[in-house]
Amino acid sequence: MARVCDITGKRPRVGNNVSHANNKTKRKFYPNLQKKRFYIPEEDAWVTLKVSTSALRTINKNGITAVLKKAVEQGYILY
């Protein structure tokens, strides 16, 4: 199961743990993904998506159909 947001395409980023002695070890920063069901009235269907919390805020603001349309245009979702 890939940790990728279905709407924004956010993926894990790579960085460093930095100790007090300035030792650096590799680590990952994971996106805050939530599994969420959305109702699409145009298709009269429920869709389950893994979305980041920032994408969830965008969906709440603009609506699921507008956000899905934009995600398809950008190539994050393939219908």
- Per domain, the residue ranges of the chain are 13-74
9-48 confidence digits (pLDDT tens): 999 999 999 999 999 999 999 999 999 999 999 999 999 9
Residue 55, Cβ neighbours under 10 Å: how many? 25
pLDDT over 90 at 58, yes or no: yes
- Indicate the helix (H) or strand (E) that contains 44: none
- Residue 12 tokens, joined: 């894990």
> The whole model's pTM is what?
0.83
At residue 28, φ and ψ (nearest 5 deg) are -120, 145
pLDDT value, residue 74:
85
Whether domain 13-74 has CATH 3.90.1150.10 = no
pLDDT value, residue 49:
93
pLDDT over 90 at 78, yes or no: no
pLDDT value, residue 75:
82
E strands, 1-79, are 13-18, 24-29, 33-40, 45-52
Rounded Cα–Cα distance for residues 32 and 77 (Å) = 19
